[in-house]
Structure 1
Amino acid sequence: MNVRIVLLLLWLPVQAAAQGFAGLGTETGDFARPDPETVLQFPADHGAHPEFRIEWWYLTANMTGPDGTAYGLQWTLFRSALAPRDGQGWDTPQLWMGHAAVTTPDAHFVAERLARGGIGQAGVRADPFAAWIDDWAMEGPGFDDLRLTASGAEFAYDVGLSATGPLVFHGQQGYSVKSAAGQASHYYSQPFYDLSGTLTLPHGDIPVTGHAWLDREWSSQPLAADQTGWDWFSLSFDSGDKLMGFVLRGDSDFTAGTWIAADGATTALPDGAFTAAPLSRHRVAGRDVPTEWQVRLPDRGVDVTVTALNPDAWMATSVPYWEGPVTVSGSHGGVGYLEMTGYGD
């Protein structure tokens, strides 16, 4: 049997863990639960947490080429566990999945990798930092200075990342509540990377510069049983301020977010402070997906329209979802990224 088929069969019982829309409301069992008293420790917490069911290292970037063309980049490594322990060789219950994508105004390129932990094919090391799956890698001497590489059938990229601001902790010092019932995750970001490097597309190499945002999150039951998906926004305004906000869709929607000032100071946003309402939908992959939004944060005077650079940025992966760069207009100008999960046929 083809090894990719074997890995996919191993992945299917927990395939939705990486994107949070089918199965993430199940009970934690023997897996660890996030604790609001936990103080995140670095560099250790840049690494993996095998006692938790799910985890990801999730980087998105907004870039431009020499002619001003806008591009988006995604690099994601997901870890999902069948049991709350690590292990060596094929005995390990740790499963890994990688997604890479490049978005242009008129094209969207996607690739996926699947791996079993314990055999060296995929993993994360905290210090010096390295996250990899096959020949895709995010690595460097520290979390502030990284090189990012990935490739697919029609694209590749090799870019450098340099942090210009501090880590950002969401919720209560990295304890991020996801529902009125109290489901939560540990969640922090590095939203202050400068980026430069090279995209390789079917028509050749393109030097790019821009900014990147890396999310780190782990949990064992981050969603309530009724929640079916989320709409997640990371917005970088021309002022230097930033906004992370998400809507978790369920019987009653739940929202949360973080206001990030240009100097890195943060303000946690409680349920209801941040709102996002679809303005228009686009038919992609047999689904009607909202690709234009009105986002509001009245306490900061934010009332903006968030528009997809390419409405066809569908991730046709084992767990399908929409992910792509966006532009921001209205009370604030800027760019960002939008992820939408749980949209059915």
Structure 2
Amino acid sequence: MKIRVGLMLLALLAGCDDSTPPEKGFAGLGTHTVAFTPVVPGRVFSFPADHGVHEGFRIEWWYITANLKDAEGRDFGVQWTLFRSAQDPAVQGSGWRNQTIWLGHAAVTSASVHHAAERYARGGVGQAGVRTTPFDAWIDDWQLTTQATGNDPLAAMQLKARDAHFNYELQLRSTRPLVLQGDQGFSQKSAQGQASYYYSQPFFQARGHLEIDGQRYEVSGPAWLDREWSSQPLTENQTGWDWFSLHLESGEQVMLYRMRHKEGAPYLTGTWIDAHGQATTLRADEISLAPLDTAKVAGRAMPVRWSVKIPGKQLDITTRALNPGAWMNLRIPYWEGPVQLSGSHGGNGYLEMTGY
């Protein structure tokens, strides 16, 4: 999943108007939006069309994380996200009348350093966008673009971003199928029915280089792509989320999230993906997810070590942040960074925590 933090763009836009009523749910994401297209079960996904823009929906994102190592075994993480926020449900044209706002987030993390950056753009003028033939997603010079020559544009991708303190360029390759999250791509976020359409490519292998504060590293490792779109993904009672994408050394992939509530137990679910790409939805009673230790980050107590148990899959692991200080100090801040696994399974992954 990631219920992408870029959904928070809605709150940024609302903040431009002092008369805006208080937010409902985290970052205003519980606001009811009648005019936009609702997310309902039974959608039939179509590729490559669904890699592109979904007019009529309020928010969507294209999201990549990568867990990387260099030749000396040093660990790094890379994150890249492009968000589209529609201010009007109508199909948008070109030029300055276009009512679409784009937002980009990019970050790099090592055991000792974390850098994050953001970009904003208005739709309709070419500064940011997504096209499907050939696939290309960009904001300024940050880009996720296909290099494939066959029918699957995600089989071979190039990812790049640059800021004052970092830059990276990665080649992403996969021969595995896409994974539809939830109920055939209908990913529920609450017992009340809030949901998104959600699919992933968790089997990417990445290779390339990254540069941090002038030091260049040749790196490789697993990467994960998430695609999600929605119009009202949260309830008014939901305050934030904790989201995990985990690469197990045994070849399986795991996605888990819990949506925290002002009152009541969190909404908890996930997906177990076997080494061949077969996905099984995990119910709350099949998962144990609990924070173990916190670290003081940006004045907040952030849970940077977690216990993750899925007894039916013989999974009993602890996740530990590579860098507890992986704070995305952007206009709306949150925590996001690579984690390392120990216990019944080794491996690595990513954790995102919002609303703290």
Moved more, 196-205 or 334-343: 196-205
Say whether residues 1:128 and 2:129 are aligned partners.
Answer: no
Say if 1:136 and 1:13 are closer, same or farther in 2 by CA, change over 3 A: same
Determine the structure 2 residue equivalent to 1:42. 47
Amino acid corresponding to residue 297 of structure 1 in structure 2: I
Gaps of 5+ in 2: 1-8, 17-24
SS class of match (2:13): helix
- How far apart are the structure 2 equivalents of 1:84 and 1:56? 16
- How far apart are the structure 2 equivalents of 1:309 and 1:14? 34
- How far apart are the structure 2 equivalents of 1:10 and 1:242? 32
Amino acid corresponding to residue 320 of structure 2 in structure 1: T
SS class of match (2:36): coil
Identity %: 54
Aligned length: 332
Determine the structure 1 residue equivalent to 2:315. 302
Determine the structure 2 residue equivalent to 1:77. 82
1:67-216 aligned within 5 A:
67-85=72-90, 86-140=92-146, 141=148, 142-216=153-227
SS class of match (2:33): coil
SS class of match (1:143): helix
Say whether residues 1:269 and 2:282 are aligned partners.
Answer: yes
- How far apart are the structure 2 equivalents of 1:12 and 1:163? 36
Say whether residues 1:282 and 2:295 are aligned partners.
Answer: yes
SS class of match (1:22): helix
Shift, 1:211, TM fit: 1.0
Say if 1:320 and 1:10 are closer, same or farther in 2 by CA, change over 3 A: closer
Moved more, 95-104 or 121-130: 121-130
CA deviations 1:278-332 (Å, max 9, x no partner) are 1011111111110000011111111110100000000011221100000011111
Q: After the TM superposition, which segments of 4 or more aligned residues of structure 1 sit over 6 Å from their partners?
A: none
TM-score (norm 1): 0.93
Shift, 1:9, TM fit: 11
- How far apart are the structure 2 equivalents of 1:96 and 1:318? 14
CA deviations 1:241-279 (Å, max 9, x no partner) are 111000000123101110000110110112332231110
- How far apart are the structure 2 equivalents of 1:71 and 1:164? 24
RMSD in angstroms over aligned alpha carbons? 1.6
Q: Contact 1:101/1:109 (CA < 8 Å) preserved in 2?
A: yes
Determine the structure 2 residue equivalent to 1:330. 343
TM-score (norm 2): 0.90
- How far apart are the structure 2 equivalents of 1:96 and 1:70? 31
Q: Contact 1:255/1:275 (CA < 8 Å) preserved in 2?
A: no
Shift, 1:22, TM fit: 1.7
Shift, 1:76, TM fit: 0.4
Gaps of 5+ in 1: 1-7
CA deviations 1:146-184 (Å, max 9, x no partner) are 101101111000110001311001111100011011111
Amino acid corresponding to residue 299 of structure 1 in structure 2: G
Determine the structure 2 residue equivalent to 1:4. none
Shift, 1:11, TM fit: 4.3
CA deviations 1:219-252 (Å, max 9, x no partner) are 0111111001000000111100111000000123
